[in-house]
């Protein structure tokens, strides 16, 4: 969920029923070197908790240092990423590469677990290659090293997001460990979530891409509310997301960051396809807001209710370090 799970996304997830939300993955090297943008990922608001902050890296000592910083920022869990399949992460020895380096993987989990008092969890893929069963061999060892829970996305790194998640593997992992296992991958509806829970024995399911621009999927999964949103509700939620993201990232950075979200919100037959392209071409968020309200004028009333229900922003917490590029920081 890199480039997606900003604070506004997480807060929205909590409003729609998510029991736990997770940050996008945070570079331990970036935290170690005091990179401003990386430090900004540790901005935490009271209404998004409980919150897991996910860290990635390949050096146990640096990972432990980052974990202490994450705990100091107020995270309720430290999640270790052994699942990212993206080349720029795996080529550094981090992410899914660690599934094939069990000694280093266990060393990282042990160092992180010793460094913090909050629970340490691990997110995995099945392995690097199609058909790999590396996660089944590594999972019990990670638990012995200190992992309090494991999350499995049973695709290989090579698959990226193609094909189907093989949750038969999730079921096998549940049998092999004595900690909660969270199932990730293709959790897109209540029926699918129930089927995965029933057939694998997992403790919970994780929703990722299905919630991008579609928080109503969370409500349907959690509360069995299948009725989709009105056009006004879609526009109001998008506008709130735009405003909250601009507050978090600053308007200049948010303008480009938000473009991918327009299609996610406005797709699924909610608005004509050219409308999304029109928004992408607008130069300012003020223009985007005006165009959205012109398409759904009554969204203003819905938006006012949403904003009235938000907690005050003074509860935001960041590390006591200079973070100058983030709005209000």
What is the predicted pLDDT for the residue at 321? 37
Instruction: Enter the pTM of the model.
Output: 0.89
pLDDT at 313 > cutoff 80: no
| Adjacent-strand bridge partners of 153 | 125
pLDDT digits (tens, 9 = 90+) for 26-75: 999 898 888 888 888 888 888 889 999 999 999 999 999 999 999 999 99
pLDDT at 320 > cutoff 90: no
Give the model's confidence band at 284: pLDDT under 50 very low, under 70 low, under 90 confident, else very high. Answer: very high
What is the predicted pLDDT for the residue at 66? 95
Q: Could you tell me what percent of the chain has a pLDDT over 90?
A: 79
What is the predicted pLDDT for the residue at 318? 45
What is the predicted pLDDT for the residue at 235? 96
* Residue 60 · residue 110 · CB < 8 Å: yes
What is the predicted pLDDT for the residue at 279? 95
Residues that are catalytic: 84
What's the mean pLDDT in 207-226?
A: 90
What is the predicted pLDDT for the residue at 63? 96
What is the predicted pLDDT for the residue at 41? 80
Supply the mean pLDDT for the chain: 90
Measured distance CA(209)–CA(153) in Å, rounded: 12
pLDDT at 328 > cutoff 50: no
Three-class secondary structure assignment of the chain: CCCCCCHHHHHHHHHCCCCCEECCCEEHHHHHCCCHHHHHCCCECHHHCCEEEEEECCCHHHHHHHHHHHHHHCCCEEEEEECCCCHHHHCCCCHHHHHHCHHHHHHHHHHHHHHCCCCEEEEEEEECCCCCCHHHHHHHHHHHHCCCEEEEEEEECCCCCCCCCCHHHHHHHHHHCCCCEEEECCCCCHHHHHHHHHHHCCCEEECCHHHCCCCHHHHHHHHCCCCCCCHHHHHHHHHHHHHHHHHHHCHHHHHHHCHHHHHHHHCCCCCCHHHHHHHHCCCCHHHHHHHHHHHCCCHHHHHHHHHHHCCCHHHCECCCCCCCCCCCC
What is the predicted pLDDT for the residue at 43? 84
What's the mean pLDDT in 218-228?
A: 84
pLDDT digits (tens, 9 = 90+) for 163-192: 999 999 999 999 999 999 999 999 999 999
pLDDT digits (tens, 9 = 90+) for 80-137: 999 999 988 999 999 999 999 999 999 999 999 999 999 999 999 999 999 999 999 9
What's the mean pLDDT in 211-235?
A: 90
Measured distance CA(53)–CA(63) in Å, rounded: 12
């Amino acid at each position: 969920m890199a480039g997606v799970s900003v604070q506004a996304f997480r807060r929205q997830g909590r409003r729609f029923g998510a029991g736990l939300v997770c940050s996008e993955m945070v570079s331990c090297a970036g935290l170690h070197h005091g990179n401003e943008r990386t430090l900004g990922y540790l901005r935490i608001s009271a209404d998004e908790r409980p919150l897991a902050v996910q860290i990635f890296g390949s050096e146990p000592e640096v990972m432990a240092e980052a974990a202490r910083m994450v705990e100091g920022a107020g995270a309720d869990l430290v999640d270790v990423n052994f699942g990212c399949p993206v080349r720029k992460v795996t080529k550094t020895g981090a992410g899914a590469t660690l599934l094939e380096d069990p000694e280093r993987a266990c060393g990282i989990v042990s160092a992180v677990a010793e460094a913090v008092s909050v629970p340490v969890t691990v997110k995995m893929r099945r392995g690097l290659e199609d058909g790999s069963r590396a996660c089944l061999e590594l999972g019990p060892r990670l638990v012995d090293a200190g992992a309090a829970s494991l999350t499995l996305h049973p695709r290989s790194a090579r698959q990226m997001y193609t094909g189907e998640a093989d949750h038969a593997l999730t079921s096998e992992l549940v049998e092999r460990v004595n900690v909660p296992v969270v199932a990730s991958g293709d959790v897109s509806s209540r029926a699918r979530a129930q089927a995965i829970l029933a057939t694998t024995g997992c403790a919970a399911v994780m929703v990722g891409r299905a919630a991008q621009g579609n928080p109503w999927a969370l409500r349907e999964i959690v509360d069995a509310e299948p009725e989709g949103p009105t056009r006004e509700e879609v526009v109001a939620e998008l506008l709130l997301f735009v405003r909250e993201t601009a507050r978090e990232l600053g308007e200049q950075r948010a303008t480009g960051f938000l473009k991918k979200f327009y299609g996610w919100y406005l797709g699924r037959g909610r608005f004509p396809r050219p409308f999304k392209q029109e928004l992408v071409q607008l130069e300012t968020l003020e223009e985007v807001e005006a165009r959205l309200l012109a398409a759904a004028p009554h969204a203003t009333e819905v938006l006012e209710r949403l904003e009235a229900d938000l907690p005050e922003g003074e509860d935001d917490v960041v590390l006591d370090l200079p973070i100058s590029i983030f709005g209000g920081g």
